[in-house]
Structure 1
Amino acid sequence: MRPDTGPLRVMIGAGEQRWDGWIATQREDLDLLDPDSWAAWFGNRRADALLCEHVWEHLSEAQGRAAARVCFEFLKPGGVLRVAVPDANFPDAGYQRTVQVGGPGPADHPAADHQIVYDAPLLADVFRGAGFTVELLEYCDALGHFHATDWDLGTGPVYRSLRLDHRNAGGKLGCVSIILDATRPSGEQS
């Protein structure tokens, strides 16, 4: 349920994930490809922040670009959309098999409907193309080198990140994501 007052921080496609201060939604609430579902859910309000962890890879690139435009429309000027997706440049064969387009196995595997595996430049372009300014927070470059900035978990925690994922213990990278912040410029009208 959407609150009528206070900051509006919304997780899109949350699955079982829950974070304090964030409203968890599913496709039935907010369909990234259906602006009418967003208009009905938000009414006249706009989000202060949006969080979307490992959802964009379930859309084609064209659908991802359309979804970025929907998020832009329903985010306040100055608001941030934090997105995390699997990283095409993470140099681990097991990871790449797990996140590959179509998934590694049966139709009920979480990756079975992956449509794309992004690299950081392409993901950033998806959001810049919708009007956002973009800051990459975590990603692997084309050579497979991992880059991370010190970002604030309070502004949108991502479990599949350097700091939170249990597979990244003891200085070993076991699971990474491309994580970016897409900010709606403050001068834009909502």
Structure 2
Amino acid sequence: MRVLLGAGEQRWDGWIPTGREDLDLLDPAAWAAWFGERRADALLCEHVWEHLSEEEGRAAARLCFGYLKPGGFLRVAVPDANFPNPEYQRMVQVGGPGPADHPAADHKVVYDFRRLSAVFRDTGFRVRLLEYCDDSGRFHAQEWELATGPVYRSQRLDHRNRGGRLEFVSLILDAVRPLPAP
């Protein structure tokens, strides 16, 4: 079972799209009711975590950990605090760039790779960075399979990243629930 969290209008083949009304990242009772005894093989959450405070993000990470099978993973994408584009940073800033109906108006945190990784490591996940900018703003990308969890706002899929130019990137990581020790 592969579940897309905070899907909005996004749909990917093989993924069950859910919204806040189905699986609120902060509501354990909703998760218990939705999953029952089932556990997910994979969870995918694109540009949602920045709408949670860091403490809420940690609580959401704990919920996800509990509803993943051992060896399963949660792929998370958020705006990258280290992407060296002033207009991008203005658009993704905490509180957004303008009116209350702007998608970033309720951004509560803009993560860099260390801060986001810590949210998941502290919960018990193993973290693998897939795409991110380092402290110098240099972009890094590891090989990852789109079939295992496509992220539209990524180097490969986002229409704004054409012709070798990066106009919109995400900090993308896999948080893997470890297998039990033998």
Regarding TM over 0.5, the answer is yes
Summarize the alignment of residues 4-15 of structure 1 with structure 2, pairs less than 5 Å apart. Answer: 8-15=1-8
Residue in structure 2 matched with residue 3 of structure 1 by the alignment: none
The match for 2:12 among 4, 19, 38 is 19
Residue in structure 1 matched with residue 108 of structure 2 by the alignment: 115
Q: Over the residues paired in the alignment, what is the CA RMSD in angstroms?
A: 0.7
TM-score (norm 2): 0.99
TM-score (norm 1): 0.94
The match for 2:130 among 137, 150, 165 is 137
Residue in structure 2 matched with residue 179 of structure 1 by the alignment: 172
Gaps of 5+ in 1: 1-7
Residue in structure 1 matched with residue 63 of structure 2 by the alignment: 70
Equivalenced residue count is 181
1:158 aligns with 2:130: no
Residue in structure 2 matched with residue 45 of structure 1 by the alignment: 38
Gaps of 5+ in 2: none
Residue in structure 1 matched with residue 48 of structure 2 by the alignment: 55
Q: Which aligned runs of 4 or more in structure 1 are off by greater than 2 angstroms?
A: none
2-structure distance, mates of 1:35, 1:140: 33
2-structure distance, mates of 1:111, 1:144: 21
1-structure distance, mates of 2:159, 2:11: 17
1:84 aligns with 2:109: no
* Fraction of identical pairs, as percent: 75
Residue in structure 2 matched with residue 4 of structure 1 by the alignment: none
Once the two structures are superposed, residues 107-138 of structure 1 have per-residue CA deviations (whole angstroms, 9 ceiling, x without a partner) of 00000000000000000000001100000000
1:36 aligns with 2:29: yes
Q: How far is 1:174 from its partner?
A: 0.4
